Amino acid sequence: MVEKVIVHENVNKVVIGDIGVQGPRGKGILNGNGAPAESIGLVGDFYYDKDTTRFYGPKPSDQTWAGAPNYLLNTEVAMVYPWELAQVTGPVNGVYSLRIEHNLQFHPNVTVKSSSGDVLETGIDYNSINVLTLTMAQAFSGTAYLS
């Protein structure tokens, strides 16, 4: 006996046909505690580490997660970096700068407040996933909030 489950709408009438061929496997989002084991997942899958909130993927090959992009998803303030005026370097070509080594393993959002509490706009150069440099038109002391 052949099952009839596929429904097609065709100009005011319903045609019921035979079961078709199964399509290809879709991409999956896997999860677990800790980094993904090489043996789980296929090309194109993603993985969420419940311990660290790190998101991996897409998986580049069936054999390994090596080389897969990964991102830390925690959106809380990850670091508060206060500085004094003496820590600011410059001016070099009219620009002052402050190097911050944060070691967060990602490019954080940065909010800068002066020591008087005003939120200020500065330039942000991401030197690496662990270091950034704030650039400013004039030197000031303040706090950087990285998230």
Predicted TM-score (pTM) of this structure: 0.50
Question: Which residues, other chains included, contact 18 with Cβ-Cβ below 8 Å and sequence gap of 6+?
Answer: 2, 3, 4, 6
The position carrying tokens 């950034």 is: 132
Residue 101: give the domain boundaries: 79-146
Q: Are residues 138 and 99 in the same domain?
A: yes
Within a domain: 47: yes
The total domain count for the chain is 2
pLDDT per residue of the chain (147 residues) written in tens, 0 to 9:
555 555 555 556 666 666 778 888 888 889 899 999 999 999 999 998 888 888 899 999 999 999 999 988 765 667 999 999 999 999 999 999 999 999 998 899 999 999 988 889 899 999 999 999 999 999 999 999 998
Single residue among 17, 45, 74 that ends a domain in this structure: 74
Within a domain: 3: no
Q: Are residues 87 and 133 in the same domain?
A: yes
**CA distances, 86 to each of 80, 112, 137 (Å):** 18, 17, 16
Strand 13-18 relative to strand 4-10: parallel, antiparallel, unpaired?
antiparallel
